[in-house]
Amino acid sequence: MIDLQERFIERKSFIYRLFIVYFMFGGLLLAVLYQTFQLQIANYSEYEIAALENKTHEMNIQPIRGIIYDRHGTILVKNIPTFNLIAIPNKVDDPEFFIAKIKSFIDITEEEENIFYEKFKSKARYNRELVVKTDLDQQEIASFKVRKHNYPNLLVEKRYSRHSDFPNILSHVLGYIGSPSDDELSSILTEAIHPRQETIFSYANGFISGKSGIEKTFDNSLRGEFGEKVYEVDARGKLLQEISYTKPKEGNSIFTSLDLGSHIAANEALKGRMGAVVAVEIDTGAIVTLFSSPSYSINDLSNGISNNQFNALIQNPNKPFFNRALRGRYPPASTIKPALGIFGLQNKLIDWNFSIEDPGFFTLPEDGRIYRGWKKGGHGKVDLDKALIVSSNTYFFSLAYRSDIDDLADHLAQFGFGKKVCLDCFDEDEGLIPNPQWKRNKLNSGWSRGDTVNLGVGQGYMVATPIQLAYYSSILQ
């Protein structure tokens, strides 16, 4: 007999399971309908934009750097167009074989070849262009064009180079450009419209930044603003057509207070000997001349030299990279005497009638040490006026001996000694005004009255830079 109770239980269980299945499918259908609503209606605009972006490719366009002028409007640094042979290193498997093939139809010097090998790995790693040869002539361009189909990793493009008609005369004040460091590159790319996209370069060396001088100090202003090109691409990323173009904004040009003629005169006067010439405009303090010798070519550094050439400059015993106008530390010697005379007058240690007998030396009362003047036998009776005219060491030895060193150091600082005096200059040295605290910290020794006496004629521990002396002289005028 059929157990009716058992049949009823089975039927109830079946209905229960069927209800669960209907519920699951119903929930799944609702989820599909909800997602369809989100895709087709609620988020339509968002997905439409994303789809369009997937069909386009943006490229930054490198701006042209600003021009630098002297006070009369003469161009000191400009951009010159050239046609360059440019390689795509990350598409080159064998650089030696690659260069050998190119040399069969274009003359490449040993130096150009060495530069290519030196920069190849870093350029390939960061997917950057690498210039094989600059300033191609028409014959070289034609030779490449007939073989272009064999070199998908090589192109001839118009690029700019940073150039000065006076590369050795203005090297220290203008400075040079070069490849940016990682931090500098990050800063440059943050200013681009699409920081992570590729860049259409305007310069032969790709990304550039100021490394010294005005090029470094005003790098942000000279750099300009990136432009943009947007291309339509297919599913494989191939560029199809240009959709939009935003022109890059050229960097700001800088009109300096420099005078080219004075730099030419300074160069002719020094004739390559070590030294510096600094001239400032008395009324405004504007720098007219900032020349250091010996120098180097900013064109060579800005447009690429080999490591061997760069190391040769660094190891040159004459130190052409050293900017003696801003970083040369020299005892100010007798040039400090007018400042000391002003200190004596202001602190009533002397007046214009105060005089001493100058026997040609000064004797330190504490230990009898002798400090000699430059003239044997001295200058006889001297007051401040005569002491300045004949540059009497004895007079200023005596005046310094009577001075408080801390007050004297503060007084000299008001003339610009011991600190930077040029807001626009690159890597200026502060020089040094010594005092008891400095000597204890630096030399672990106490200050003596003899140290103060030496300071009276600009000797001892005190050092100043040529630009500090130039500004000091302008104050005295």
The pair of structure tokens assigned to 170 is 């203005």
Q: Which of 226, 282, 210 is nearest to 426 (CA)?
A: 210
Amino acid at 344: G
Q: Which residues pair with 327 in a beta bridge?
A: none
- Bridge-based pairing state of the strands 177-178 and 199-200: unpaired
Alpha-carbon distance of 397 to 364, in angstroms, equals 9
What angle do helix axes 393-401 and 337-346 make, rounded to 10 degrees? 40
Q: How far is CA 21 from CA 18, 27, 101, 182, 451, in A?
A: 5, 10, 72, 61, 101
Alpha-carbon distance of 453 to 476, in angstroms, equals 22
The pair of structure tokens assigned to 77 is 């640094």
What is the helix (H) or strand (E) element at residue 363, kind and residue range? strand 361-363
Alpha-carbon distance of 145 to 155, in angstroms, equals 9
225, 66 Cβ separation under 8 angstroms:
no
Residue 202 bears catalytic tag: no
Question: Which listed residue (253, 257, 297, 334) is catalytic?
Answer: 334
Alpha-carbon distance of 113 to 118, in angstroms, equals 9
The pair of structure tokens assigned to 42 is 């609620």
170, 164 Cβ separation under 8 angstroms:
yes
Q: How far is CA 379 from CA 195, 295, 356, 397, in A?
A: 72, 42, 10, 14
Query: What region does 285 belong to: left with phi over 0, alpha with psi -120 to 50, or beta?
Result: left
Alpha-carbon distance of 68 to 377, in angstroms, equals 55
Q: Which residues pair with 370 in a beta bridge?
A: 363
Look at the block and give the residue holding tokens 């191609």: 136
116, 194 Cβ separation under 8 angstroms:
no
Amino acid at 350: I
Q: What's the length of the chain?
A: 477
**Catalytic machinery residues:** 334
